[in-house]
């Protein structure tokens, strides 16, 4: 690169950064007219085009909008990479809802391990959610895995009693699996020291609104009983062989 080239490049960069900040101020002003400032999580230029991404804190986690640099239009929807078909909005949302694996309250989990336990998953699961059952049945087929179940008793009032009773059982893993897979009601009392109410509150602070909601070792968060092959691929990706 010649000196002249360098100068031109620097000038372009400078110009670009000025343009960005100018647009950003417009977008911020417009956004603040619409939602209270404390709900605005971030405003950034998207890496793939001439738009700004506005992230607003919603009751169910972050919401993503796109706004043009003049702040004239708000775009509500999904951005898809035209070449790869990748859902850019979805990936960004995943990034924003990422948690630190170490921050998960696994002391409240019902944990089972098979094989080396290499692949790790933590699940907010409810005994009255049919998809949680299907999801856990899939997990039960996998080897080299650590499964941490956080009994998130939110689907029905009955779930709370069941979850507490499971926690108070001598063998929690067995009591949970009996309930989930065989519909054998737990028999233990429900008044032992248990974290069920704390787990309900914890899930809400994460903005989770559906079951199963689950986390992988890399902190990525997902919802739903995804197909078995996809689950395996995601687990391997998040917990690679070392």
Binding site for another protein (CB under 8 A): 58, 60, 78, 80-87, 90, 126, 128-135, 154-156, 183, 208-212, 223-226
Which of residues 224 and 240 has its CB atom nearest to another protein in the complex?
224
| Number of Cβ atoms within 10 Å of the Cβ of 86 | 12
Which of residues 130 and 240 has its CB atom nearest to another protein in the complex?
130
Report in angstroms how near the CB of residue 187 gets to another protein at its nearest: 19
Q: Are 180 and 154 in contact (CB under 8 A)?
A: no
Name 151's Cβ contacts closer than 8 Å, sequence gap at least 6.
Answer: 110, 125, 126, 127, 163, 166, 167, 176, 196, 199
Which of residues 115 and 224 has its CB atom nearest to another protein in the complex?
224
Report in angstroms how near the CB of residue 213 gets to another protein at its nearest: 8
Task: Tell me the pairing of strands 145-151 and 119-125.
Answer: parallel
Report the distance separating Cα 65 and Cα 195, nearest Å.
37
- Rounded to the nearest 10 degrees, what angle do helices 157-167 and 172-182 cross at? 140
Report in angstroms how near the CB of residue 222 gets to another protein at its nearest: 10
Report in angstroms how near the CB of residue 211 gets to another protein at its nearest: 5
Which of residues 54 and 132 has its CB atom nearest to another protein in the complex?
132
Which of residues 70 and 158 has its CB atom nearest to another protein in the complex?
158
**Which residue, chain included where needed, has tokens 């069941």?**
162
Q: Are 105 and 150 in contact (CB under 8 A)?
A: yes
Report in angstroms how near the CB of residue 206 gets to another protein at its nearest: 12
């Amino acid at each position: 690169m010649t000196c002249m080239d360098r100068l031109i490049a620097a000038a372009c960069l400078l110009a670009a950064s000025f343009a960005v900040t100018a647009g950003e101020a417009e977008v911020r002003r417009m956004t603040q007219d619409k939602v209270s400032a404390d709900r605005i999580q971030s405003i950034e230029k998207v890496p793939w085009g001439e738009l700004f991404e506005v992230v607003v804190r919603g009751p169910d986690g972050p919401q993503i909008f796109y706004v043009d640099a003049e702040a004239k239009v708000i775009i509500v929807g999904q951005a898809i990479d035209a070449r790869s078909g990748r859902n850019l909005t979805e990936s960004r949302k995943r990034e924003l809802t990422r948690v630190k694996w170490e921050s998960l309250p696994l002391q409240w989990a019902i944990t089972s391990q098979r094989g080396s336990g290499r692949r790790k998953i933590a699940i907010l699961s409810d005994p009255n959610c049919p998809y949680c059952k299907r999801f856990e049945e899939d997990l039960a087929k996998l080897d080299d895995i650590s499964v941490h179940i956080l009994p998130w008793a939110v689907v029905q009032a009955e779930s709370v009693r069941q979850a507490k009773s499971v926690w108070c059982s001598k063998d929690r893993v067995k009591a949970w699996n009996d309930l989930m897979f065989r519909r054998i009601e737990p028999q233990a009392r429900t008044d032992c020291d248990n974290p069920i109410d704390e787990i309900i509150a914890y899930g809400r602070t994460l903005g989770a609104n559906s079951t199963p909601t689950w986390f992988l070792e890399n902190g990525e968060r997902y919802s739903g009983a995804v197909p078995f092959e996809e689950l395996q691929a995601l687990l391997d990706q998040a917990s690679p062989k070392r």
